[in-house]
Amino acid sequence: MTNYTWAGLLLWGVILLYALGASFDFGASFWNWWDRRHQEKTEEANVAERFDAPMWDVTNVFLVLIAVALVGFFPSAARAYGTLGLVPISLVLILLALRNVFLVIGHTEPSLRPRAIRISGITGLLLPALLTLVLPISQGLGLRGNPDAPQLEMGLLFRAPVTYGFLAFGLSSELYLSSLMLADYARQMVAERPFRLYRRRALWLGPLTFVFGAIIWALLPDTQAWIRNGLITSWGWFAASFVAFLATGFLLYRPTARSAQIGEWRSPVRWSVITACIQFFLAGIGYGLAHWPYVLAPVLTAKQAFTSPAIFTAALIVLIVGMAVLFPGFVWFWRLFMAEENDEGQTKQV
């Protein structure tokens, strides 16, 4: 493979990792707020809050890695997205800063905790919606003007029905994945009622997410024939993703998946989280292959946006070293913060 292909593979891999982590993080914030609307303290909200308390910091690390990979590997694409997406990117940064500030304040100032929960919950919906807009923009929707200097017209973008398909898919994916993860986390805490609620939510959000994915395909305009053909070419990845989706549903419907008393790796719910992540990774690979070689269709390909060989080597070393340092830290973090004591004082490890 060429250097720019390796660079695109690494960048897309980091983006998919961030998409999964952000879904768990933002979704948990939303459920924490949603389950407190009528009562300040509930078991369900407690599970979501305990999961999200250490999680939100981790997702920011992957966001930084995306910026490093994009600027290091494809500087022309970084400039193009920075110019075209000035408004949505600025809103994302403002909402992220607001969310992070109030999450910190909520843990240090009890009087502001309800407000912090409300803000983190609302931004937990707004942020995925804004981030999902990158997908239709990357396909060229909403772009007008000279191909050498395109302009993004938000009105044109939001007049395209497929944009709303992407928004619905992004939000349902976030809520689906976070429900699955919280169901497994509640199982680990042996919290029966939250476990049943989050499992029930995952059971209907999963098929809903699949429907929204199909709607995106149906709403693709004629001007997007290039990616439609690419999606057809990558059908094998989507078929494998569909099998993983069926496996997730099968695991959730199993009788042993209906109780929080099933511990550790014997629980089908734990395996359903894994198969759901595999499902989204396989679909993400298929979409990435369909989108390739464009990084901003139809005006910029990966080859055109690629950096010099020297900078590519330097950026690659930085990413590899960074991940080599961070990965053991993430494993330690997971074992440290995702361990909860059950009622008998014993500790279960995720």
Average pLDDT over residues 284-310: 93
Q: How far apart are CA 61 and CA 266, in angstroms?
A: 32
Q: Model confidence at 312, in pLDDT bands (50, 70, 90)?
A: very high
Average pLDDT over residues 189-215: 92
Predicted local confidence at residue 149, as pLDDT: 73
Burial of 117 (0-12, 13-18, 19+ CB in 10 A): buried
Q: Which of 341, 293, 313 is nearest to 9 (CA)?
A: 293
Average pLDDT over residues 268-286: 94
For residues 185, 190, 193 and 198, what is the CA-based torsion angle, rounded to 10 degrees?
Answer: 20
Predicted local confidence at residue 339, as pLDDT: 56
Average pLDDT, the chain: 86
Q: How far apart are CA 106 and CA 228, in angstroms?
A: 45
Gyration radius from the chain CA atoms: 21
Please report, in angstroms and rounded to a whole number, the separation of the first and last CA atoms in the chain. 37
Q: How far apart are CA 206 and CA 177, in angstroms?
A: 8
Q: How far apart are CA 104 and CA 34, in angstroms?
A: 20
Q: Are 97 and 60 in contact (CB under 8 A)?
A: no
What backbone phi and psi angles, to 5 degrees, belong to 277? Answer: -65, -40
Average pLDDT over residues 150-175: 92
Take residue 317 and report the two structure tokens written for it. Answer: 């070393």
Question: What is the length of the chain?
Answer: 350
pLDDT in tens, 1-13: 899 999 999 999 9
pLDDT in tens, 316-349: 998 888 888 877 777 777 677 655 444 433 434 3
Predicted local confidence at residue 341, as pLDDT: 41
pLDDT in tens, 259-276: 656 656 677 888 999 999
Q: Are 302 and 5 in contact (CB under 8 A)?
A: yes
pTM of the model: 0.91
Predicted local confidence at residue 37, as pLDDT: 82
Q: Which of 69, 19, 4, 2 is nearest to 285 (CA)?
A: 19
Q: How far apart are CA 186 and CA 196, in angstroms?
A: 9
Predicted local confidence at residue 262, as pLDDT: 60
**Where are the domains positioned within the chain?**
3-338
Beta bridge partners, 301, equal 294
Predicted local confidence at residue 260, as pLDDT: 59
Q: How far apart are CA 124 and CA 111, in angstroms?
A: 21
